[in-house]
Structure 1
C-alpha cells in the first residue's frame, strides 16, 4: 500500500500494529507509529489500544504506560494488555496496582495476574487469587494445574485436573509438560496413558515431553512404544521431535537406534545434530562426536550454546585439552555466543581431569558469574583423580560453597568430602552436623525398573511404592529367621 501510494485509513493500522507486536518488529513498529502521528490518527481509540499493546510486547513499558495514560476511554482489553505488559517486564507491583484500580475486571484480567504470579514465582499468591476468582475459564484451570505440575504438588495438579469443568488438549499439554519440567516423570507418563485411553490425540509438545520423561527414567520399552505410535499415526518427525527420539535412545543405552534414526531425518536442524553429538559423547565415542560437529558446520547448520556444551563434554571425556580450548574460543569469537555456567563447568572439568589445576582455578576466578556447586564439584573431581591434597589451600572455596545452596544437601556433602579427602575428619563430621542442625536432608537415592511399560521407583528407605510395605515385611521376616539360626 505504501509503495503504491494507496490511502491508509484508521482501520488499517490496528492490524499492522498487531502484526508488529506478534513479530516483535520493533523498528518497523516505531516507524509505523511515526506514520500514524503524521497522518493525524493519534487520537483514534483503536489505534491507541494497538500502540499500547505493541509497546508492551516490545518490553518498552514506559512508552506503553505513557500512551495508556493519554487514552480517555479505556476498554477491558486495553487494561489487560497493560497489566500483561508490566508482568512481562517483571513489574509485579505496578501490575497489582493497576489490577486493583480496575472498575470492571473480567476473567482475562484474573488470568493475566495468575500467569504473572506463576511466572514470577509467587505461587501462593497465585493459588489465593485462583480461589478468589468469581469466574474461571479453561485458561484459569490450565494455568494453575500446569503450575502445580511444574512447581507445586503433583497431587494438587491431579486434583485440579479432575475438578476442571473442561479438559481440552491445552490442559492435557499443560499438565504433562509441567510434570516433565518438574521432574515428575512417572506422573507425566501416567497422565499420557490416561490421555490416550480417553481417545485424545497428543500434539508434538506432549510427545516431546513424554519422550523426555522416558530419557530420564531409562524407560526404553515405553520409548519404543511412543516411537511406534508416532510412525503408526503418521506424525511428522521434525527437528525437535527427532532430537527427542535420538536423546531417548541414547540415554536408554541404545546408541545404534539413535544413529539409525538420525540418518533417516531428512531435514536435520541444530537440535537433531546436537542430540546426536551429545549421544556419542555420553557413550564414550568422543572422536565421533567431534567428527559429527565438523559435519554439522559443513552442512551449514549453525551450532548453538547447547551444541557447545555437548562438544566440550566430548573433549572432557577423552582429555582433548587443546581441542577443548579451540572449541571454547570458537564459540566466543566465531559464533558470538557468551559462555554460560554450563560451558565453564565443562572447561573446569576438562582442565581438572588433565591435572591443570592452576589453569582451572584461574578460569573460575575469571568467570563473569559466581561459580556454582557443579563448577566446584568438577574441580574437586579432578583433584581426587590426581590425588591432590591442596583442595583447601584457598579457604574461599569452602566459604563460597556455604553461600551457594544453604538448603541444598549437595554443597554440604561436597564440603564434607573435600575435608575427608584432606584427612580433616573433624571438619568433615562438622559439615554433617550442620546439616542435621539446620534441617538440611541429603537427597535420597532411588532406583527404577520398567515392567510392562510401567516404571516403578524405589527410594532409599521409602515406603511410598504400593509394594514397599510388603518388601519391608519380607526383609524383617528374613532378618528374624537369620537371628534364630
Structure 2
C-alpha cells in the first residue's frame, strides 16, 4: 500500500493524472485487491473526469464486498453512473443486485429487474443468478422461481441459485426435487441442499447427502460441523472438525461458537488456543465465542490476553465484541475493567449498553444501572428484550418495586416489546424479594403464558426468605410437580421449604419424585485459573490428572488445621 501511494504521488507530479487508463488501473487495484484501500480508490475515482464503465464497475464491486462498511455507496454510485449517461453492462448488474441483497433493498432491486429488460441484459445467466439470489435474500421465493422458469439456457450456477433460493426459504421438498433433476451437479449444489437441511434442523438428511458427495470442499465440512453443533450434537461436530482435511477461519469459528453455546467452555478455549498456535487470525465471531467462554469460566487472565490481542491487532471493536469484553470483565469480577471498555469504545449500540447495565446489576450497583438505562434512551438507543431483563434484575436486587413496575409497564406501552417468560420471571423475583408475596402469586396466576420452573422457583424463594409459609398451598407444589423439570434446584428448594415447616411426608414425596424422574442433584463445583489454564473441581471427583497430589495436599491441609485448632 505504501508503494501504491508513492506511485500515485509520482503520477500527480508527472502529470499522468489526466491519463484515464493509468487511473483506472489504480482504482481497480485499490478497490478490489486484498492489499487495496477502498477509501484511496474513492479519492482516485473522484479525480477522474469521465470514468468508464469499467471504473464504475470496480468501485461498485469494492463497495459490494461483504467486508465493506458502507454498501449503500454502491447504489449511490450506480445512480451517479446513470445520471452521467455511462452505460451499465452485464458486470454492473450482478454487483448492484448483491448490494440490494445485503441491504434487503427490495424496491431498488425490482427497479434493476425492470432495467434488465430495457437494457437487453435480462438473458445473461450470471445476472439471472444474481437476481434469483436477491429474491431469495428478500424472502420472495416465488419471484426467484419465476425468473428461473423464464430462463431458457441454464448452467450449473443458475441451477445452484434456485436450489439456494428454495433451501434458504425452507422449501426443502422442492429444493431436493430440483437437485434430483439437475443435469449436472458440483459441490455447491450439494452444499446448498445440505445448508437447507441444516437450517430446518434435519441433520440426519444433511449427513446422508454429505456422505453421498463425490468430492467435499471446506464449505461442505463447515456446514455439517455448524449443523451438528446447532442441533446439540457437539461430540459429532467436534469429531467431524477433527477429521477435516483442511480448515479455514469459518471452521474454527463455527467449532468455537458451537462449543461455547453448548456450555463446553473449556473445550471452546482449547480449540481457540489451538487456532492461535496454528496462526489463524480470528474474526469478531471467534473472539466473541472465546470471551464468552472466559466469562463463564472466570478465566480473567486469558480474557485479558484476548483483550490485549485485540488491541495489538487493531481489531475493529464492534458492538458485539465490545459487549463480550464487558461481559467477560464483569463475570470475572472486574467491574472497573468492564467500565473502562464501555466508556472507551465509541461504536456502542444496544448490545454494549445492555451488557454494561447487566454488569452494574450483577455487582450490586443498581442505581448506576438505572442511570445508564435512562442515559441510553436519552441519546436515542432503543432498549431490547435483553436490556429489560438486566434492568428489571437490577430493580429486584435493589428492592425498587415501583420503578420495576414502571419499567415493565413501559416495555409494552412505550417500547412496543412484548414481555417474554424471562421478563415475567424478573417481575416475580422483584415482588417476592420485596415481600409482596400475594401480589407475586396473583401475578403468576394471571401470566399470559404457563409459568415455568424458574417462575415458580423465584416465588418459592420469596416464601423461604420471608417465612410466609401460609401462602404455600398444594396448588403451587402441584404446579411444580407437573412441570417434570430435570433441574434439581427447584426440587431441592421445595424440599427445604417443606422441611422448614416440618412437613416431612412432603419432603419424602419430592425426593421420591426426583428418583422416579431421574433428577440428580448437580454436584458442587469450583474453578480456579493458574497460568492461564482453568481447572475445574467437582465434589468427590477422582478423574483429575493430578488427583492423587490434590488429595494428598488436602489431607495435609486438614491435619494442619486440626493441629492449629488443638493449639488454641
Q: Please state which band the TM-score falls in when normalised by the shorter chain.
A: 0.7 to 0.9
Counterpart in the other structure of 2:290: 210
Partner of 2:469, secondary structure, is coil
Partner of 2:526, secondary structure, is strand
Offset at 1:54? Answer: 2.7
Partner of 1:395, secondary structure, is helix
Cα-to-partner distance string for 1:25-83 (whole Å, 9 max, x where unaligned): 23444455566678898777656544433332222334444554454554433443344
Counterpart in the other structure of 1:257: 337
Q: Of 259, 265, 283, which aligns to 2:363?
A: 283
Distance 1:478 1:279 in 2: 36
Q: Of 534, 549, 554, which aligns to 1:455?
A: 534
Distance 1:359 1:40, change over 3 A: farther
Offset at 1:155? Answer: 4.8
Counterpart in the other structure of 2:544: 465
Offset at 1:347? Answer: 1.4
Distance 2:166 2:476 in 1: 40
CA contact (8 A) 1:150 1:179 kept: no
Offset at 1:330? Answer: 2.4
CA contact (8 A) 2:128 2:158 kept: no
Distance 1:286 1:40, change over 3 A: same
Q: Of 425, 448, 451, which aligns to 1:371?
A: 451
TM-score w.r.t. structure 2 length? 0.73
Structure number with bigger Rg: 2
Cα-to-partner distance string for 1:69-100 (whole Å, 9 max, x where unaligned): 45455443344334433443343444444444
CA contact (8 A) 1:249 1:258 kept: yes
CA contact (8 A) 1:373 1:401 kept: no
Cα-to-partner distance string for 1:144-191 (whole Å, 9 max, x where unaligned): 233445544555444433322222222121111222122111111111
Distance 1:472 1:10 in 2: 73
Distance 1:329 1:3 in 2: 51
Offset at 1:316? Answer: 0.7
Q: What is the 5 A alignment of 1:64-463? A: 64-149=144-229, 151-152=231-232, 154-389=234-469, 393=473, 395=475, 398-399=478-479, 402-403=482-483, 405=485, 409=488, 424-463=503-542
Distance 1:291 1:258 in 2: 16
Offset at 1:244? Answer: 1.6
| Bigger mean CA offset, 326-335 vs 386-395 | 386-395
Distance 1:5 1:417, change over 3 A: farther
Q: CA RMSD in A?
A: 3.5
CA contact (8 A) 2:201 2:227 kept: no
Partner of 2:364, secondary structure, is coil
Cα-to-partner distance string for 1:96-137 (whole Å, 9 max, x where unaligned): 444444443322222223323333222333333323322111
Distance 1:222 1:145 in 2: 26
Which sections of structure 2, spanning at least 5 residues, go unmatched? Answer: 1-78, 559-568
CA contact (8 A) 2:234 2:258 kept: no
CA contact (8 A) 1:145 1:174 kept: yes
| Bigger mean CA offset, 223-232 vs 314-323 | 223-232
